[in-house]
Amino acid sequence: MRHKKHPLSHPSEPLCGSRRQFLGYGGALVGASIFVPLYPRSAAAQSTSFDYYISPTGSDSNPGTQASPWALTSINTKQSTYAGKRVGVLPGTYNCLSLSGGSYTGSFSSPAFFIAAGSSNASTVIQSTTARGAILDGGANASNNPNGQPLIGNVGTGCQYITLDGFEIKNCFNRAISFGYQTGAFGGYSGPLSFGIVVQNCYVHAITNTLPAANTTGITIYSANGAIVQNNYITDIEDSTTRGDAIEFWTSQNSIAQLNSVIASGGGMYAGIVNKNASNYNNIIRFNYVDLTLAAPISEGAIVMDSDGSAGTIDQCYNNIIISDYPIGSYLISTGNFPASVNKQRWFNNTIVGIPNFANVGFYRLGAAGTISFYNNIIQRNTTGYRGDVDTSANAPVVWDYNCYPASPQLGVTASGTQNPPTVYTSIASWAAALGNAGTDAHSLKGAPVFAASGTGPSYYQLQGGSPCKGAGSTTGTPSGAPTDMGAWGNGATQIGCSFAPGSNSVVTPDPPTIISIS
């Protein structure tokens, strides 16, 4: 069946804002107060045209040509020269610890290699000339990097319009990549924002931490407007304090995490992809593959959206695959912010599999009345959790239908305004009545979705031709929508997770999304 593309906006939730707004890419402002889902198109080759070059054998006294390139230290010493330009980093391993002076001496937030900001007219681009051919080896540990200084990025009020593209980054202590305004990364923030930040096509791994109360991350974005983190492969986040995140947004808005693969391979993770703390809103998490099957117990969840915008803001999480075979501290996807956030949220076409012992729930959100849309999701578990397969506040759903649950569903309802243990229902009808919405899950299914179970990674979770979930969803989650498949591969998805395997220097870079205007 062919499925037409569609805006995926629910008719009862009007588009927000009256001024002309737009969604841009790669250094352009993302200023919409609501996102319209965009589909990744066919791949495009990386650009090979650069203004300056860096090599492992270069020198800052060189002119920065391909024949006579700079050293990596030029990122710090040549900022006024390359700001707003394209810098190509030639293949090879860069011993970042020795290049930064033998040890990391900077602060917790200021990166060792501090990229110059660009402008709205010309982003600064730092790109490996061969995809992941430039290897940045941090060589960092608690002794030589006691402050947990990030390896590369730009943190401060001047962080604007920067693209980091195509690197392998490894052996960092606490954080690998950091961008944004760190001082404002806490609840209730309304200060400076970073625009035009893009991190893409990177392989980030072997990140460790022993610092207390420090969130170890592969990629951190602070207080951004319109940041894009896409097509990255992140693994080996090891945090002895169980606060490690693969991708983390703090107090950001209008930002996107898409087409990333997060593969856990050890212990100490806090979350896979997380929008953390208050003042996050109008963000999208989509087309990501989060695999926690090799992780030790983690304390938060696979995807977390701490969002607390006004009633006019909308956050979206869709077409993600989340799997786990280890205990999860609380839930696999959630939105946080007790007791009841008033911003709208749309969670649709996600595939959530293998919720294990001690897991509380697959989906968890304590929302205000009429705030949650939850449809076309597949949730399958191998045991019963504390909060069941899903848990939400009574009266919170505005659209909740066309989902696929286990054969014996566990459906939780938590009293509005509380965080108490839920009442768990095993009947969809009694669950709908408790939520105060008679239409809840009226078209939903119980039983196995029948995955393809062939191939590896995201392709394993495609649906077989005879799956009961094929064509059983709705593009809007309502009877008026067009038929579509349930789960992450429905609603027109063509790629989930990143497009490369670690160790490969080939890359398929997602095309920039088409600019869509909303009047």
Evaluate if residue 11 carries a pLDDT over 90: no
Pairing type for strands 411-414 and 423-425 reads: antiparallel
Instruction: List pLDDT tens digits, range 449-506.
Output: 999 998 889 999 999 999 999 999 999 999 999 999 999 999 999 999 999 988 777 7
CA separation for the pair 468, 466 (Å, rounded) = 6
Angstrom CA distances, 84 to 47, 79, 313, 343, stand at 16, 10, 32, 36
Ramachandran bin of 73, using left for φ above 0, alpha for ψ from -120 to 50, beta for the remaining angles: alpha
Here the tokens at position 497 are 């997770």
Evaluate if residue 113 carries a pLDDT over 90: yes
Evaluate if residue 437 carries a pLDDT over 50: yes
* pLDDT confidence of residue 267: 60
Nearest Cα neighbor of 139 from 98, 174, 171 is: 171
Instruction: List pLDDT tens digits, range 153-188.
Output: 999 999 999 999 999 999 999 999 999 998 877 777
Angstrom CA distances, 416 to 99, 435, 477, stand at 55, 10, 23
CA separation for the pair 333, 330 (Å, rounded) = 9
Evaluate if residue 440 carries a pLDDT over 60: yes
Residue with tokens 């050293």: 71
DSSP, res 371: -
Angstrom CA distances, 495 to 7, 427, 489, stand at 19, 35, 8
* pLDDT confidence of residue 193: 94
Q: What is the mean pLDDT of the chain?
A: 82
pLDDT grade for 132, boundaries at 50, 70 and 90: very high
Evaluate if residue 240 carries a pLDDT over 80: no
Nearest Cα neighbor of 231 from 256, 212, 209 is: 256
CA separation for the pair 209, 215 (Å, rounded) = 9
Evaluate if residue 67 carries a pLDDT over 90: yes
* pLDDT confidence of residue 241: 67
